[in-house]
Amino acid sequence: MKYESRDTPGDVVALPQGTGLAPHVVFAGGEAGGHLFPGLAVAESLRQLLPELRITFAGAGSRIERRAVHATGFAYQGLPCPSATFRWRDTWNHLKDQREAILASREFVRDAGVLAVVGLGGAASLPIARAAAQEGIALALLEQNVSPSRVTRKLCRIASLVCLSFAAARHRISAKTAVRITGGPVRLRRNLKGAERPHGSRLLITGGTWGSEDLNHSVPRALYKIGRSLRHWQIVHQAGPGRVEWTRALYRKFALPAHVVPFIDNLPSWFSASDLVVSRAGGATLSELAATGVPAVLVPDPVSAGNCERLNARCYTQAGAAVTVDPNEHGVRLDDELGMRLVPLLQDAALRSAMGKTMSHLAFPRAANDTARAIAQLIERGTLGKVA
């Protein structure tokens, strides 16, 4: 069976060709930014530690995923990745698709000479992670949330290494091998175009890779109700692909000037140039907020798996680095609660500064490097095994 990237011809990045026994590691499952960007941070640190290393990202092939990987110069490989959601009557077909995806992944890791696989989370990491275990290849897992994902819980028993962002996640997994509390890996890229600090203050709203219907609907309404507190504030709102025009129309309806964009792929730089953030509470986003020391109003995704975002937000709120507004508690009046919580933060620079300092104390500045070093040890052991 031959494997072709799902990239369009203009986007193709060839698989790097090593020489001799040059080690090869695959990062798998970055279909969402919360999975992908920590993986890219670790891969860049790993490239610095092992300059001769071949690094490939493998996944289902979303355009956002391909574009981000290509921008870093890493290779990208599209592989079959069955969806995690399916109807009961489709169980047989789902199992068949999973089996075929694992077989395809096994052939890929054999043909490509892979010595280690790094699972980034999400359904797209399952086939190649299981293929790695079946081929006797080292498997490392990155987990960004307090409540480990179903994928992490499934794979931790066969993993060689599990790296956690939250110490509170340790008792929630049953890994029999090495578990390390590394913190959340973050890519800090400074001085990127568009992310310069404005003359006044900046409020940044982000709902994650695909945007958030809750935030797109509630934040403009909340800001309209507290308009007097927005003097000298610039509004930047990441609405998600396909939701930009609707969100822009809502801001126009309320006569609120706002810069609405579908996606921001350099969030840490934008965080650094902002004074306050309204966001979901995914683990990767919280690590980026901590690394940049910006206070936040967190709106957990009410349907996040295992209630993970609510648990993540609780850790940061209890520390005093953020304020949480839970959609499950406020329902249709979410905009009223958001407005009430935003007013003191918009008006009090000293309060924002104190929260920002607390936020910085939650950061793990060496997370990407520490995770990369742990993975490098796996690669080294795999290389020695091949030589032997």
pLDDT in tens, the chain (388 residues): 333 333 433 333 333 344 455 789 999 987 778 899 999 999 999 999 999 999 999 987 778 788 889 999 999 988 767 666 555 665 666 567 677 778 888 998 998 899 999 999 888 888 999 999 999 999 999 999 999 988 898 899 899 999 999 999 998 888 677 899 999 999 887 655 667 777 789 999 999 887 889 999 999 999 999 999 999 999 999 999 889 999 999 999 999 999 999 998 789 999 999 999 999 999 999 999 999 999 999 999 988 877 899 999 999 999 999 999 999 888 778 999 999 999 999 999 999 999 999 999 999 999 999 999 999 998 887 655 443 3
Q: Is residue 194 part of a domain?
A: no
Give yes or no for a contact between 220 and 256, defined as CB atoms under 8 angstroms apart.
yes
Say whether both 286 and 148 belong to one domain.
Answer: no
Say whether both 153 and 87 belong to one domain.
Answer: yes
Say whether both 58 and 166 belong to one domain.
Answer: yes
Q: Return the CATH number at 32.
A: 3.40.50.2000
Cα distance from N-terminal residue to C-terminal residue, the chain: 29
Give yes or no for a contact between 160 and 138, defined as CB atoms under 8 angstroms apart.
yes
Say whether both 106 and 161 belong to one domain.
Answer: yes
Split into its structural domains, the chain has a count of 2
Say whether both 342 and 215 belong to one domain.
Answer: yes
Q: Comparing C-alpha atoms, which of 187, 223, 186, 192 is closest to residue 205? A: 223
Q: Comparing C-alpha atoms, which of 317, 272, 312, 351 is closest to residue 149? A: 312
Helix (H) / strand (E) element for 200: namely none
> Structure tokens of 345?
């933060």
Quote the CA–CA distance of 339 and 223 in Å, as a whole number: 6
Q: Is residue 330 part of a domain?
A: yes
> Structure tokens of 141?
């897992």
Quote the CA–CA distance of 101 and 82 in Å, as a whole number: 7
Give yes or no for a contact between 119 and 25, defined as CB atoms under 8 angstroms apart.
no
Say whether both 310 and 243 belong to one domain.
Answer: yes
Q: Comparing C-alpha atoms, which of 10, 106, 14, 2 is closest to residue 56? A: 14
Q: Comparing C-alpha atoms, which of 303, 263, 243, 289 is closest to residue 65? A: 263
Say whether both 17 and 146 belong to one domain.
Answer: yes
Q: Comparing C-alpha atoms, which of 29, 101, 102, 39 is closest to residue 59? A: 29
Helix (H) / strand (E) element for 82: namely none
Say whether both 268 and 135 belong to one domain.
Answer: no
